[in-house]
Structure 1
Amino acid sequence: MTFHVNITPNGRLSLPAELRKRLGLANGGALLIEETDNGLILRTVAQSVAHAQALARRYTADKPETSVDAFLANRRSESGE
């Protein structure tokens, strides 16, 4: 779905009420903007977290040595703790 929004001279933009409601931003909230070669991507914070988790899973799937616990254990052994 495509929405047309205008940006004011001071940089403000308004998202349509329908979109804000669907994204859980009816009472305001934060969006993160990612600039890509193809344009801008706007995501809610929750969407950004889910996106980052999906990227992490893609690079760490089936690799137990990449877990946080494995990383911390490795750091402890390297530091002599």
Structure 2
Amino acid sequence: MTVQINITPKGRMSLPADIRRRLGLTDGGAIYLDETDDGVVLRTAAQAVARAQALAKRYTGDNPDSSVQAFLAGRREDNGE
């Protein structure tokens, strides 16, 4: 679906009410903008988190040693701490 959204001279834009409702943004909220080679992609916070989790899982799989704590412990061990 393509929707035209106008931007004011001060840089403000409004998402149509039906889109805000579908995205769960009826009381406001954050939208994250990713600039890509093809244009821009807008994501809700929940969509951005889900995307980040999917990317992390693609690189770490179900490896229990891929947590932040395990990474930091490994770095401390490598540095002789």
- TM-score for the superposition, normalised by structure 1: 0.84
Q: Which residue of 1 aligns with 2:32?
A: 32
Q: Write out per-residue CA displacement over residues 50-78 of structure 1, whole angstroms, 9 at most, x where no aligned residue.
A: 11111111111154432324213313434
Runs of 4 or more, structure 1, over 3 Å off, are 62-65, 78-81
* RMSD (CA atoms): 1.7
Q: Could you tell me how far 1:28 is from its partner in structure 2? A: 1.0
Q: Which residue of 1 aligns with 2:21?
A: 21
Amino acid at match of 2:33: I
Residue 26 of structure 2: SS of its match in structure 1?
Answer: coil
Q: Could you tell me how far 1:80 is from its partner in structure 2? A: 4.8
Q: Which residue of 2 aligns with 1:72?
A: 72
Identity of paired residues, percent?
63
Q: Which residue of 1 aligns with 2:3?
A: 3
- TM-score for the superposition, normalised by structure 2: 0.84
Instruction: Provide structure 1 residue ranges, at least 5 long, that are not aligned to the other structure.
Output: none
Q: Report 1:45-64 matches (<5 A).
A: 45-64=45-64
Q: Distance in 1 between matches of 2:76 and 2:69?
A: 11
Q: Distance in 2 between matches of 1:77 and 1:5?
A: 52
Q: Distance in 1 between matches of 2:65 and 2:38?
A: 35
